[in-house]
Amino acid sequence: MEPKLLKGTALELEDFKRGKVFVVNDNPVAEYAWDCGVAVGRYLSELKSGRIMGRTCYGCSRTMLPPRMFCERCFRPTDEWAIVQDTGVINTFSLCYITWDMKKLKDPEIPAVIEIEGASKGMGILHLIGGCDPRRVKVGMKVRAVWRPEKERVGAITDIQYWTPIR
Amino acid sequence: MLERKTSNQGLSSWRGSIPVGNRYTVGPAAEIFFKTLKEKGQILGSRCNRCEMTYVPVRMFCERCFSELREVVPVGDRGILVAFTRVAIDLEGRRMQEPQTIGAARLEGASTLLIHRVLVPIQKARIGMKVRLVLEPLSRRSGGILDIRGFEGG
Nearest CB to A77; choose among B1, B14, B35: B1
Q: CB within 8 A of A4, min separation 6: which ones?
A: none
- Give the ipTM of the model, two decimals please: 0.77
Residues B31 and B37: their CA atoms lie apart, in Å, by 10
pLDDT at A1 over 60: no
Chain B 6-35, residues with CB within 8 Å of chain A CB atoms: 10, 12-26, 28, 30-31, 34-35
* A13 touching B (Cβ < 8 Å): no
A63 contacts A123 by C-beta, under 8 angstroms: yes
Chain A residue with minimum CA distance to B33: A22
Those residues with Cβ within 8 angstroms of residue A64's Cβ, 6 or more apart along the chain or in another chain: A54, A55, A56, A57, A71, A78, A119, A120, A123
Q: Which residues of B touch A36 (CB under 8 A)?
A: 12-14
CA dist A41 and A62 (Å) reads: 20
Tell me the chain B residues in contact with residue A39 when contact means C-beta distances shorter than 8 Å. Answer: none
State mean pLDDT over A61-78. 96
Question: Residue ranges of chain B with pLDDT lower than 70?
Answer: 1, 8-11
Mean pLDDT computed over A133-144: 96
Q: Which of A13, A22, A43 to mutate to test the interface with B (most CBs of B within 10 A)?
A: A22
Chain B residues in contact with A22 (beta carbon < 8 A): 25-26, 30-31, 34-35, 143-144
- Residue B140 dihedral angles phi and psi, to the nearest 5°: -100, 0
> Any CB–CB contact under 8 A between A45 and chain B?
yes
Q: Please answer yes or no on whether B13 and A70 come within 8 Å at the CB atom.
A: no
| Per-residue confidence (pLDDT) for residue A2, from 0 to 100 | 58
User: Is the whole-model pTM more than 0.80?
Assistant: no
B91 touches chain A (CB under 8 A): no
pLDDT at residue B154, as a whole number? 87
Measure A30 CA to nearest chain B CA, in Å: 5
C-alpha–C-alpha distance, residues B40 and B44, integer Å: 11
Q: What's residue A10's pLDDT?
A: 87
Which carries the bigger pLDDT value, residue A8 or residue B71? Answer: B71
Give the per-residue pLDDT at B11: 66
pLDDT digits (tens, 9 = 90+) for B94-130: 999 999 999 999 999 999 999 999 999 999 999 999 9
Of the two residues A52 and A101, the one the predictor is more confident about is A52
Q: Does B66 touch chain A (CB under 8 A)?
A: no
Chain B, window 108-147: residues with a beta carbon less than 8 angstroms from a chain A beta carbon: 143-144
Query: What are the pLDDT digits (tens) for A9-57?
Result: 888 989 998 989 999 999 998 999 998 889 999 999 999 999 999 999 9
* pLDDT > 90? residue A128: yes
Query: Taking CB atoms and an 8 Å limit, are A30 and B24 in contact across chains?
Result: no
pLDDT at position B4, please?
A: 78
Amino acid at B92: E
pLDDT for A163: 98
Test B31 with A22 for CB contact under 8 angstroms.
yes
CA atoms within 13 A on the CB side of A148: 14
| Amino acid in the structure at residue A41 | G
Rounded Cα distance between A5 and B78, Å, is 43
